[in-house]
Every structure is written in C-alpha cells, then in structure tokens.
C-alpha cells in the first residue's frame, strides 16, 4: 500500500530490461553493437514522449525524478525561482532560497498569493528572469494542482514553468502542451518501471545548461553513457501506463472505501486534501493521538507497507512540511499516514490495511480509556 514510494516493477518491464541488459554496445558507438543499443534508447525515448504528448527529441533521460528536477531548476539559467510550499524535497533543497507560495487548507495553490509573489519577484529578476516550479500531483496527499491555470498566470509574468509530474504519470492523463508548461519531470519506478531512470521533457527549442559535463549524450544536455536497460524498461512502463490509465482511475473506489471505513471508526481522523481533486490512488489520513512511527511499526508487523507523510535523510519521521503548509498542527501532521494503491493492488490488500488500522486504533483507544479510568479513580 505504498505505491507512491515505488511501484512494483511490471513483469513486461522486467523482460525488456533483461533483454536490453544483454546488449553489449555503447549507444554512442558507431558499430553494429552500438547502433543496436542506440535503437533501444531511441525506441524508449519515443514511448516516454508519447506518455506526455511530446516529441522524442525533447526527452532528456536522467537518473530519476530528483535529477530531472535539479536539471530543470539549475539548468534553466533563471535568476529567481518561485516554488509552491508543498513541493518535493528535490525542489526545495535544490533551491533553498526560492520564493515560496502558500497552499490553501485543501492543499491547492493559493492563486492570489501566486500572482502577488510573481509580481514582486518580476521586479527583482527583470523580464524573462523567472522560473516557477509547481508539482502536478502531491506525493503525500495526492492533491492535483490546476497547472494550466497556474501556467497561464506565470506566462503573464514572462516566467518559465516547470512541473514535477512524477506522481501524476500513469494515474492521470498527461499532455505537456495542454498543461502549458516548459519542462516536465518523470520517474520510471513510479509507473512500474525500473528504479534509477527518469526524464526531463522540454518544450521545443528550450535551451538548457547541463549539470553533468564530459560528453555529447542527450543532445549535449546530460553527459554520460545512457542507461540502456533502464531506458528500455522505462519505455515499456510508459506504454503500459498509457494502456492501463483507466485501471488507475478505478482505484478511487478502493481509496474512498478505505477513507469511509476508517473515518467511520475514528470521526476525528482527518483526510488531507479530501475537498480537492486528488489522484485516484492516494489517501493521507491521520490517526489522532498515535504517532506515525508507531503506526508504521504496527503496520509493518502486520505485513502492510505504508508511509508517513515525510521522512528526513536520517530516517526519523518528522511532521510533513506539506501538511503544515495546509494548516495542520504538528501533532496532526505527526499522526498522518499515506496510503497509496497501484497496478497490483487487490481487494484483500484493502481488507488487510483496514484490519491493521482498526486493531491499532482500538488498542490505543482502549489504553487511553483505561488510563482515564485510573486517573478518575485516584481523583
């Protein structure tokens, strides 16, 4: 139940990956082995481009979503970066001095605040010196942003627009032209592809300063020998994501069932972003009074994999900056878990999760009741 962290790799992807890994050629070599490797990479590039309605020559393969985000922000050449308060850490830590735009309580971007921040930033950056980065789907809450409207606002300030679509791919339809963005980040392992491969998709003619130097690969936008097997797996995963997009929408039935059953048991639980449009597979829900780390251990012992709202590099669970940006208290944010479904989810998985959640909640509630009774007796 933790597909937003990484989705199980699809069997078709494994087959493509293994076949490609047996290719001995370097895709930059001109001999037959090299040309064979190049074909695998370019076939994958076309498939990834088709996933987002782009041209293959505008797809830059990277090591994943984090590198794609860093390449977009640091390679844009813009003087001032503006981001939403709910962005992934690969955005926030890449540009720690970026201007931040607040979120509404439902997790959507405050558009009035966006215009205000962009207007003030434009004065400092000058014409054409701005870049706005807003994720399409939040990785913790699943909340979807109105990217076409946001892009239109940004274009009014002559700003370049980057969109982290890592969590949205395979769950909602993607079209880089309809979204109105200049750059789009993707990651294969979120859609049943291999880990360690991603892409930054550009609009035609956009110049990008490479972060990695030392070769002419990826049209001189990202040096280094391409990950041939990873690219091949990514290509197949992208094709399957398009084919099975309807399956992703059907996951909303299970998501809603989970939320209804858990909130019926615990009416004080908060489902973050429930009032907004969300990904069909994602639910972020609190268990009042029970720390997220306690929940994670209990679920793990019950054989159920879920995530807390956020975890720092040391592995310690911390209150989510996304939930705090939505107005949650530290205590509320610290008791929230993310549940995320995917292509191999089953009805029995839902039952196992609800059973584990119910057992933990009732055990905690029973303990509190006993303590309250003991305190009353002493008094």
Output the pLDDT for position 312.
39
- Averaged pLDDT, 297-305: 97
Lay out the sheet containing 130-133: strands in order across. 59-62, 198-202, 183-187, 160-164, 130-133, 80-84, 99-101
Query: Which range, of 173-182, 305-314, 353-362, 369-378, averages the lowest pLDDT?
Result: 369-378
Q: Is the model's pLDDT at 151 over the cut of 90?
A: yes
Q: 88 near 209, Cβ under 8 Å?
A: no
Output the pLDDT for position 374.
33
Q: Is the model's pLDDT at 139 over the cut of 80?
A: yes
* Percent of the chain clearing pLDDT 70 (strictly above): 94
Output the pLDDT for position 308.
87
What average pLDDT does the structure give for the chain?
A: 93
DSSP designation for 187: E
What are the tens digits of pLDDT across the range 175-229? Answer: 999 999 999 999 999 999 999 999 999 999 998 999 999 999 999 999 999 999 9
Q: Is the model's pLDDT at 373 over the cut of 60?
A: no
- Averaged pLDDT, 84-101: 95
pLDDT class of 311 with cuts at 50, 70, 90? very low
Q: Is the model's pLDDT at 48 over the cut of 80?
A: yes
d(Cα 338, Cα 142) in Å, to the nearest integer?
9
pLDDT class of 314 with cuts at 50, 70, 90? very low
Q: 177 near 53, Cβ under 8 Å?
A: yes
Q: 130 near 80, Cβ under 8 Å?
A: yes
Catalytic residue among 163, 231, 284, 312: 312
Output the pLDDT for position 54.
98
Output the pLDDT for position 379.
41
Output the pLDDT for position 80.
92
Which residues have C-beta within 8 Å of that of residue 59, sequence separation ≥ 6? 45, 48, 49, 199, 200, 201, 202
What are the tens digits of pLDDT across the range 238-291? Answer: 999 999 999 998 899 999 999 999 999 999 999 999 999 999 999 999 999 999
Taking CA atoms, 48 is separated from 70, 293, 343, in Å, by 19, 37, 19
Output the pLDDT for position 35.
97
Q: 254 near 94, Cβ under 8 Å?
A: no
Query: Which range, of 17-21, 40-44, 260-264, 326-330, averages the lowest pLDDT?
Result: 326-330
Output the pLDDT for position 304.
97
Taking CA atoms, 311 is separated from 16, 89, 322, 362, in Å, by 33, 10, 12, 26
The residues facing 202 across adjacent strands are 183
Annotation marks residue 312 as catalytic: yes
d(Cα 302, Cα 309) in Å, to the nearest integer?
20
- Averaged pLDDT, 97-109: 96
Q: Can you give the pTM of this predicted structure?
A: 0.93
Q: Is the model's pLDDT at 378 over the cut of 50?
A: no
């Amino acid at each position: 139940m933790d597909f937003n962290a990484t989705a199980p790799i699809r069997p078709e992807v494994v087959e493509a990956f293994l076949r490609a890994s047996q290719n001995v050629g370097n895709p930059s070599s001109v001999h037959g082995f090299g040309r064979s490797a190049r074909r695998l990479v370019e076939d994958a590039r076309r498939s990834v481009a088709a996933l987002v309605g782009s041209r293959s020559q505008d797809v830059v393969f990277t090591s994943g979503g984090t590198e794609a985000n860093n390449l977009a922000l640091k390679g844009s050449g813009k003087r001032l970066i503006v981001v939403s308060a709910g962005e992934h850490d690969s955005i926030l830590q890449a540009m720690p001095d970026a201007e931040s735009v607040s979120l509404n309580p439902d997790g959507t971007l405050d558009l009035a605040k966006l215009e205000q921040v962009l207007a003030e930033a434009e004065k400092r950056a000058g014409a054409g010196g701005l870049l706005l980065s807003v994720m399409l789907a939040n990785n913790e809450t699943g909340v979807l942003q109105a990217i076409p409207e946001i892009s239109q606002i940004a274009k009014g300030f002559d700003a370049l627009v980057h969109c982290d679509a890592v969590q949205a791919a395979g769950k909602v339809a993607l079209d880089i032209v309809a979204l109105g963005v200049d750059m789009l980040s993707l990651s294969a392992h979120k859609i049943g592809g291999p880990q360690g491969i991603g892409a930054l998709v550009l609009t035609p003619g956009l110049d990008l300063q490479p972060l990695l130097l030392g070769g002419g690969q990826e049209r001189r936008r990202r040096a280094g020998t391409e990950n041939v097997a990873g690219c091949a797996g990514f290509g197949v995963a992208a094709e399957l994501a398009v084919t099975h997009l309807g399956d992703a929408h059907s996951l909303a039935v299970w998501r809603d069932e989970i939320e209804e059953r858990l909130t019926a048991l615990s009416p004080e639980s908060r489902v973050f972003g429930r009032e907004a449009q969300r990904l069909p597979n994602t639910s972020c829900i609190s268990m009042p009074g029970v720390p997220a780390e306690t929940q994670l251990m209990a679920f793990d012992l019950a054989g159920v994999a879920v995530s807390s709202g956020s975890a720092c590099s040391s592995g310690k669970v911390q209150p989510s900056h996304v939930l705090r940006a939505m107005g949650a208290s530290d205590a509320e944010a610290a008791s929230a878990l993310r549940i995320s479904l995917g292509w191999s989810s089953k009805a029995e998985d839902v039952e196992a999760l609800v059973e584990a959640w119910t057992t933990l909640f009732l055990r905690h509630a029973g303990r509190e009741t006993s303590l309250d009774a003991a305190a009353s007796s002493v008094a």
